[in-house]
A = this chain, B = another copy of it.
Amino acid sequence: MLDDRKKKILQAVIDEYINTAEPVSSGALVKKYNLKYSSATVRNELAELEGKGYLDKTHTSSGRVPSEKGYRFYVDELIKDDNISLEEIKYIQSKLGTKVNEIEDLTKIATTTLSEITHYTTVSIGPKAQTQIIQEIKFVLLGSRMLMVVIVTDSGLVKETIIKYNEDITESQVETLNNLFNSKLKGKPLSKIDKPMEEYILSEIKYSIDVIKPIIEQINKIIEAEENIYLEGANKSLELPEFKSLELVKNFVNILDEKDLMIDVLNSGLAKDINVYIGDENENEQLKDFSIVTFKHSVGDKDLGTIGIIGPKRMNYSKVISVMKYISKKMNMDLKMQDDAEQDENRTEDDKNNSN
């Protein structure tokens, strides 16, 4: 499609524009990138690249600026090698190396680290509860009228909620609840706590509907609750030259404030890969002046959360993608190790059972 010289010039234009945020002139390209052609030749090439839709101009006599098609080509074809330094790798290792007890904490640490290294605004959400498999449901009595429900899923996600009653709950009631819910729901996906299930449990249990009803309600609430969004480095973006426009700043703050929007975007990405949405490629109208890069992290097919970067279309895609790739790999390794440890645990138990 594009010959080598055009590719090289296109890459130079985009690299330069990402660096300087100023329209790139033919003269500057020749000087800074040691091109062995004159500015006039470069001008002809630039005109052709513009004709093909890879570049734009801000006005008739201005330098060139990448179009969205240009950025897309750049992301797909032109950035090849890893753009991550040894210091950055070490920093990531030190941050992700700290022991955490809950997956969400690891996600938060990764989100913060990603923002620190790239200097962009990052967002993340935890795993989608609905798809998780219930490993255990535990009812715990706090005082005499407060019941805590704890649900543990197979990927180690822990969700808990509290129900307050106007009458006392006894330990034997709690025992019954534990048995009933576990026998019925262990191994099922969380989304299974639905209407038929509710009716079944209500028919099964011997005491008052007033005890069960709020439990089901409350469990459904935490399952359906949109994952809380975690945001880091909103202020960093504002230092970028594109945010000299008040309009854009307001749009940006509005986007970050509208949590459902960010949750949708994070959820829409494909698993097992890094997703790049440039400007108009975003479904939502509000996002058309921004680019978003996301990745889901998971072990096997278990969704463990999604992390994303949002910034201007003039984003340092090469750095962002490299750092994300590394963080993604590192998180996977950490979780794999943990998973293997659990496997070991199971195997040891099996061995014990066999030797008995």
Number of A residues with CB within 8 Å of any CB on chain B: 40
- Identify which of B162, B249, B250, B256 contacts A102 (C-beta below 8 A): B162
A254 within 8 A of B: yes
List B contacts of A244 (CB < 8 A): 246
List B contacts of A341 (CB < 8 A): 166
Of residues 323 to 356 in A, which have CB atoms within 8 Å of B's CB atoms? 341, 345
> Helix, strand, loop or mixed for chain A's interface?
mixed
Do A164 and B101 touch (CB < 8 A)? Answer: yes
List B contacts of A142 (CB < 8 A): 136, 138, 150, 152, 158
A145 within 8 A of B: yes
A183 within 8 A of B: no
Of residues 84 to 126 in A, which have CB atoms within 8 Å of B's CB atoms? 101-102
A235 within 8 A of B: yes
Do A140 and B140 touch (CB < 8 A)? Answer: yes
List B contacts of A253 (CB < 8 A): 234-235, 238, 249, 253
A161 within 8 A of B: yes
A169 within 8 A of B: no
In Å, the complex CA distance between A136 and B162 comes to 15
Do B162 and A158 touch (CB < 8 A)? Answer: yes
Do B136 and A218 touch (CB < 8 A)? Answer: no
User: Please, which residue of chain B has its CB at the minimum distance from the CB of A256?
Assistant: B234
A148 within 8 A of B: yes
A163 within 8 A of B: yes
